[in-house]
Amino acid sequence: MLRPNHFLALAILASTAVAGCSASRYDEAYTARIATFRADAEFAELDDAPRELADGRVVVRLPTKFAAAADESRLPSLLFLRGLPESMVFNASLYGPNNWERRPVVVAAAVPVTRRRPDDLKREISEWIGADGTFKIGKWERRTVTPSKGGPPEWDVVSLDGQQAFEAVDGTTELGDRNLDGAGELWVSAAADRDYCVVLCIRIPKDVAGQFRVTPGELAALMARRVEILPPPAEPPAAN
């Protein structure tokens, strides 16, 4: 037969166990909130709204300042990327010296690997850039990122620095493409075992680059880390 002090001990143990479970759940929830907060802060330069390519199979997120879809017919400096299927072009609107509006550019594209494998795509892009003559293309470098959405970790990157054309506006007057000193990078996902090869390109005039909190290369890396390549949708069940 249990004595009163035994009942007291059991009650204390039970209450301690319940408190321990509650504390454990609280700690887990707190840790999850901290992880979410850190991720939000880390990717604060990117817009939360996803942009879909390839019928929703590829999802990218743009820098927050790049909201407007660009008129590609007025971007001759991007001719070398117009051979890419499933591409989107976006502009930012930033003001620099002389109060001219400069329009930095972001391009995102998804190329099925059945059409072009990553190495073939890199070679074609190098040839397009060389033929275009707008940029001084550097050497391709392999970079590894930590994906946040299960996207490709390996990318091949080339810099697009130096004098290059950017669309400019003076008040309401379209000035067309103006040759400005710019900085940029072009990223090509390197995994040939994915359904799509993703291309990201960002170019910013240097005289307005200070309006971003990070460099063009760091913006491109953030975009690469947020890329998602989704599996194909499930086949509908066969009709009986």
Report pLDDT digits (tens) over 13-40: 455 555 565 556 545 543 444 444 345 5
Torsion (CA) 152, 220, 200, 75 in degrees, nearest 10: 170
Query: Does residue 230 register a pLDDT over 50?
Result: yes
Contacts of 83 (CB under 8 A, 6+ apart): 124, 128
Contacts of 111 (CB under 8 A, 6+ apart): 84, 85, 86, 121, 196, 197, 198, 199
Q: Which DSSP symbol is given to 50?
A: -
Contact 188, 99 (CB under 8 A): no
Q: What is the number of other CB atoms lying within 10 angstroms of the CB of residue 118?
A: 22
Reported as a pLDDT band with limits 50, 70 and 90, residue 181 is confident
Helix (H) or strand (E) holding 90: strand 87-91
Q: What is the pLDDT of residue 132?
A: 65
Q: What mean pLDDT is predicted for residues 152-175?
A: 83
Q: What mean pLDDT is predicted for residues 211-225?
A: 92
Largest CA distance in the chain: 96
Which pair of tokens denotes residue 224? 């690469």
The region of weakest confidence among 21-30, 99-108, 120-129 is 21-30
Positive or negative: CA dihedral 146, 148, 150, 151: negative
Interior angle at CA 52, CA 218 and CA 73, nearest 5: 80
Q: What is the pLDDT of residue 34?
A: 40
State the chain's mean pLDDT as an integer. Answer: 77
Query: Which of left, alpha, beta for 27 (phi over 0: left; psi -120 to 50: alpha)?
Result: alpha
Query: Does residue 149 register a pLDDT over 60?
Result: yes
Answer whether 0.85 is exceeded by the pTM: no
Reported as a pLDDT band with limits 50, 70 and 90, residue 186 is very high
Q: What is the pLDDT of residue 147?
A: 93
Spatial distance between the Cα atoms of 205 and 184, rounded to a whole number of angstroms? 9
